Amino acid sequence: MSLVVVGSVAFDSIETPDGSVKDALGGSAVHFSLAAALFGPVQLVGVVGEDFTADCHNILREKGVSTEGLEVIPGGKTFRWSCKYFDDMDQRETLTTDLNVFEKFQPTLPAEYCQAGFLYLGNGAPVTQSSVLDQMSGKPFSVVDTMNFWIDGNRSELLELLGRVDALVLNDEEAYLLSGEKNLVRAGRSIRKMGPRIVIAKKGQHGATIFHEAGETALPALPLADVVDPTGAGDSFAGGMMGSLQSCGSVDLETLKVAVAWGTVTASFCCGGYGVEGLLKADPVSLRERFEQYRKMLDLQPVEIPLTSN
Amino acid sequence: MSLVVVGSVAFDSIETPDGSVKDALGGSAVHFSLAAALFGPVQLVGVVGEDFTADCHNILREKGVSTEGLEVIPGGKTFRWSCKYFDDMDQRETLTTDLNVFEKFQPTLPAEYCQAGFLYLGNGAPVTQSSVLDQMSGKPFSVVDTMNFWIDGNRSELLELLGRVDALVLNDEEAYLLSGEKNLVRAGRSIRKMGPRIVIAKKGQHGATIFHEAGETALPALPLADVVDPTGAGDSFAGGMMGSLQSCGSVDLETLKVAVAWGTVTASFCCGGYGVEGLLKADPVSLRERFEQYRKMLDLQPVEIPLTSN
């Protein structure tokens, strides 16, 4: 069961209160791929310019990311984005967005990719995301990400897309915006009625909530003392989650919960360095160690508590 | 091992987007007591005026709360507070605060209470909280709550108090204010250095994080679709937690985690009705059922995930 991701490939310039990085490898498809590659092979579909160096290609390939679907536009320039984080690292301000070759991105999947069992559509125009679904010959387990920009500006196209996918991942603010609800549980339930049978609301340092026909599951994030750069944490979360689902080959609720836990752990590595540095440092030993720490954190020992009935 | 709570007893008037209640029984000591009483006996120390009706006394007593330490000031008027919640129920605005008899509250513990094994000092002036510690003849497991007002205005008295207690519960914004940190883990670690060996940061709908010498533990809240009135949820959380600790008679990390889980479940009942209505509806069956639902939500099944080592 192969895993395909379609999304942005970019060079990010990031300022935080403690430092900065310029033109670091980034973009939703990159963070997703490097996260998912910790669990198994990933096939990346994206577009870059001639400035996307051999080193960048190598970073992806060495980690097990197939770049056959990474289109290089001759004479083109890769998507560039810059942002600045505020003191609490929970909020950021986009400084510049130069879409460059990403502006006219029309993803075309290599024939082999169209059979994928798992498909992740990184944040992008809903019509573009739909065009990828049109190319699939099978019926992959499809997860889509979106953002305020599309919820506000392309609502009907987004709703059409939501009727065709298995799961939507979005952050809590986006869930409120999409649903018009002010309570997260109501928001998630309302979004499930728009189509996706699974909705996953990402809450940054507060973890994630899964909405499923069996009910709601809230899982916390790992408490982190050192958040170097949270850019890409959401896509790393999705990458870890789908990488783990692909490994299991199943998407029942228990497997999904474990997958969200792996996504949470993977995202915590992402936050540990600028750009993709944190993800590149993760290895099976450190990943598994942190997963066990997470599982232990959530394990509630059976303690007999007598209750009164006044 | 008895449990004593010292704090406010009030009549609360609350407006939410969906309704309102006037002069409902409330206050930190009341919410705490009714929550803790679900687990065992509680001894309440507070002050009220002559307007505190026999019905109010009975609500407490019928639930197993001793009111021997509830001073009634002849001709006095009970503390009154009113607030208005915003649309998302996460933020509220205090409309009026009439301290009345609570303004000159000098808690005097009945002799028997001074032997308590567990002591909760609800939000109040740090010097008043310290005066309660002075009255204890034993060395109870002591938990203190505080708020922005005291952190800003009575910092030195608060720091002196923190050197004398076992645990501090406060919300995340207060933890940032007290520590000067912008990251919650750093904030909690910094506050532990001020004295309390345990710090518990309450994050409302996002759950709570425990800071302990063994590390940090983040636990989510129960996902709630219907939050009627979150007033008193923090004190109900503390009441459920300490009620459960008192039942176990131990305060090691595993017991503390389970206690925080019980606190979380108890707080979820508090949110289900105006004032203390939600807590009064909780019974051993519904409480245990919701606890099992919470434990199951956090239980991560062992699923074998192969990891790659590219």
Closest to A175 measured CA to CA, from A222, A88, A130, A234: A234
Whether residue A231 is contained in a domain is answered as: yes
From the list B53, B32, B224, the residue with the least C-alpha distance to B119 is B32
The Cα-based distances of B218 to A185, B189, B261, B284 in angstroms read 20, 14, 11, 26
- Cβ neighbours for A182, distance < 8 A, ≥ 6 positions apart: A176, B17, B87, B88, B89
In a domain, A304, yes or no: no
Whether B305 and chain A come into contact, CB under 8 Å, resolves to yes
Nearest to B217 among A176, A209, A297 (CB): A297
Hey, which residues does B143 pair with through a beta bridge?
B120, B167
Closest-CA residue in chain A for B266? Answer: A307
Q: What is the pLDDT of residue B288?
A: 96
Residue A75, domain member (yes or no): yes
Q: Is the pLDDT of residue B310 over 90?
A: no
CA B134 to chain centre: 21
**Cβ within 8 Å, pair A223-B216:** yes
CATH number for B48: 3.40.1190.20
Closest CA in chain A for residue B299? A299
What ipTM does this complex have? 0.95
Cβ of A308 and B257 within 8 Å?
no
Q: What is the pLDDT of residue A302?
A: 81
Q: What's chain B's average pLDDT?
A: 96
For A21-63, what is each residue's pLDDT tens digit? 999 999 999 999 999 999 999 999 999 999 999 999 999 999 9
- Give domain status of residue B305, yes or no: no
Q: Has residue B310 been placed in a domain?
A: no
Encode pLDDT of B76-117 as tens digits.
Answer: 999 999 999 998 898 999 999 999 999 999 999 999 999 999
pLDDT at A224: 97
* Tally of domains within chain A: 1
State the pTM of this model.
Answer: 0.96
Indicate yes or no: CB of A223 within 8 angstroms of CB of B222.
Answer: no
Q: Mark which residues 220-259 of A lie under 8 Å from B by CB.
A: 220-227, 244, 247-248, 254-255, 257-258
- The answer to whether position A233 is within a domain reads yes
Task: Determine how β-strand B198-202 pairs with β-strand B208-212.
Answer: antiparallel
Distance to chain B for A15, nearest Cα, Å? 16
Domain that holds residue B191: 3-297
Give A88's contacts in chain B (Cβ within 8 Å): 176, 182-183
For residue A125, the Cα-to-chain-centroid distance in whole angstroms is 16
pLDDT for the residue B88: 86
Q: For residue B14, give both structure tokens.
A: 């609350």
Query: Which is more confidently placed, A43 or A1?
Result: A43
Is the pLDDT score of A1 beyond 90? no
For residues B279-306, average pLDDT: 93
pLDDT, residue A125, reads 95
Q: Of the candidates A63, A64, A262, which has its C-beta nearest B305's C-beta?
A: A262
For residue B307, is it within any domain? no
d(C-alpha B16, C-alpha B37), whole Å:
27
pLDDT digits (tens, 9 = 90+) for B121-140: 999 999 999 999 999 998 99
CB proximity A108 to B under 8 Å: no
Query: Residues A92-137: pLDDT tens digits?
Result: 999 999 999 999 999 999 999 999 999 999 999 999 999 999 999 9
Using a CB-CB distance cutoff of 8 angstroms, which residues of chain B are in contact with residue A247? Answer: 305-306
Q: What is the mean pLDDT of residues B286-305?
A: 93
**Alpha helices (H) along chain B:** 28-36, 54-62, 126-135, 148-153, 155-162, 172-179, 184-192, 233-248, 253-270, 277-281, 284-298
Q: What is the pLDDT of residues B214-234, one digit of tens each?
A: 999 999 999 999 999 999 999
Q: Residues B270, B120, B105, B115: is their CA dihedral positive or negative? A: positive
Mean pLDDT of A193-208: 98
Residue A306, Ramachandran bin (φ over 0: left; ψ between -120 and 50: alpha; else beta)? beta
Closest alpha carbon to B239 in B4, B50, B1: B4
Pick from A109, A25, A123: nearest CA to A69: A109
pLDDT at B1 over 80: no
Cβ-defined contact of A184 to B207 (cutoff 8 Å): no
Examine residue A303 and state whether it is found in any structural domain, yes or no. Answer: no
Strands (E), B74-156: 79-85, 92-98, 118-121, 141-145
